[in-house]
Structure 1
Amino acid sequence: MHLKLRQLSHTLAVWRHGSFRRAAAEQHLSQPALSRSIQNLEESLGVLLFDRQTSEVTPTVFGEALLRRAEAILAEATELEREMRLMKGLDIGRFSVAMGVYPAEMSGNRALADLLRAHPGLCLRSQLRHWRDVERLVRDRQVDIGFGEIGHLINAPGLRVEPIGRHEMLFFCRAGHPLLARDALSVEDLDAYPFAGVPIPARVAHLFPRNCHVDEVTEGLIPPILLEDLTAARTVVASTDAFGLASPLQIEPWLRSGELATVPLRASWLRLDYGFIFLASRSLSPATEAFTVLVRQIEREVEERNRTLADALFQGLNPGA
């Protein structure tokens, strides 16, 4: 059985007009051509669709069943064609992304805002997830693209990974914290205070303060104060003796206000390492490609600003100057 959309359209026209002649005129066909189209459909289905014995053509029981579905099928086909046309121009369509906490704050959220400003009809779904969950959502085809930690994904089967962000990070604490009174610090000095933040990737687990514990499944570090996002971490750190982890840009306003301070410990291994995560077998939608272009543009600016601010902080300069 091979149903064709034009045959369904012809069938609906005959039903609406109750006449092959009037239906043919509406469809811009000759009456014999329309009749052949309906007959071919009937032969394909093995049933009669119209009772032609009366003065007005009426649907049979089979015709009524077909007509109930035909209108919805044609409506869906028309809508699908429209969506395909509009998606090419990003005027409508859908885009989904899963992002880690750090890349979302550095450039991801800003890129989404720029994308929606340029294409307000786009239907967007953004998820802020643990770095392992970002990979899983991409593999399960639940999102179009992942934007997160990639250190564990280089040469991962089935995935295409593009490095994007590699930024210096620092430990931060509240103003007046005991750590700020010491002349020199080592990573071991941090062990006396709880770390507040999101899970830390396995690639730096052996270098991180020892007051966290390693997850047996992901091998990542779980902080003693586990939080969902950096907003919560900044709030907790500002009011307790906990310390947090961020890029200089992510805490710059709080450094300027004096609410937070930089822990005087600079470590070469303390860096963000994130990028795009694609399913290798899946082609990118126009919305996905537009998002990646925007992120790359923003990251070029962010990289320079973050490096300049980090140098200023560790040279003892006031970031608010």
Structure 2
Amino acid sequence: FEFFVADTRHFEANPDYHTHRLRPRRWHFCCRAGHPLAARNSVSAAELMSYPLAVTIRPPNLRKVIVDLSGRPDYQPNVECENGYSLMGVVLRSDAIGIVSANSDVLHMARGELVCLQIEGLDENLEERYTRYGVVSRAGYRLSPLAQAMIEQIKEIDERDEDAYALENIAV
């Protein structure tokens, strides 16, 4: 692979890699539109954590948020999977709580079916609530013209304000 897009935390300090960070996007706790918490203006951490949690395997920053909300030394989600579409299927058909980023394809596909929850006492600007994705390539290797063009396309798309589009299509 000439490059990939991933969480850059494990690569930024490594001299073997070159990283270009993309814009941070905020993570949202969400539930299906008919969920018992969906109509609430805000929910407490205890209320949130009283429901099953269905999440993809995420960076440690989001795990820290979940652990802090749970009030336990560690927390294991009820359902954990790499496939965001499968997990949103679980969230849309149960009382499980999911976690989705503002630019997620899943969010676009579930228009009107997902509700983002406001969590009492959870700082909206907390760094751990944001992605830290970027383009990662090996240092000292020249990228092919095709890879360079693809990276430029990724950067261009990243500069657009996709967050506003994503959030206007779900209830907040």
Structure 2 length-normalised TM? 0.79
Cα 1:318–1:156 change in 2 (3 A) is same
Aligned to 2:59: 201
CA distance in 2, matches of 1:179, 1:196: 16
Aligned to 1:154: 12
Per-residue deviation, 1:254: 1.9
What is the 5 A alignment of 1:164-175?
164-175=22-33
Q: How many residues align?
A: 163
Please state whether the residue corresponding to 1:196 is helix, strand or coil: strand
Aligned to 2:77: 223
What is the 5 A alignment of 1:296-311?
296-301=155-160, 304-307=161-164, 309-310=166-167
The CA RMSD over aligned residues, in Å, is 2.8
Per-residue deviation, 1:295: 0.4
Please state whether the residue corresponding to 1:255 is helix, strand or coil: coil
Q: Which runs of 5+ in 2 are unaligned?
A: none
CA distance in 2, matches of 1:205, 1:197: 10
Which letter does structure 2 place at the counterpart of 1:272?
T
Deviations 1:156-187 (A, max 9, x none): 23111110131122111112212224443233
Query: Quick check: which has more Rg, 1 or 2?
Result: 1
Cα 1:210–1:199 change in 2 (3 A) is farther
Per-residue deviation, 1:204: 3.3
* Greater helix proportion: 1
Structure 1 length-normalised TM? 0.45
Q: Which runs of 5+ in 1 are unaligned?
A: 1-142, 215-220
**Correspondence 1:246 to 2:100:** yes
CA distance in 1, matches of 2:93, 2:30: 12
Please state whether the residue corresponding to 1:165 is helix, strand or coil: coil
Contact 2:4–2:137 (8 Å) recurs in 1 = yes
Identity, % of aligned positions: 22
**Which structure carries more relative contact order (alpha carbon 8 Å, separation 6+)?**
2
Per-residue deviation, 1:191: 1.3
Contact 1:195–1:212 (8 Å) recurs in 2 = no
**Correspondence 1:210 to 2:66:** no
Q: Tell me which of 143, 163, 167 is aligned to 1:284.
A: 143
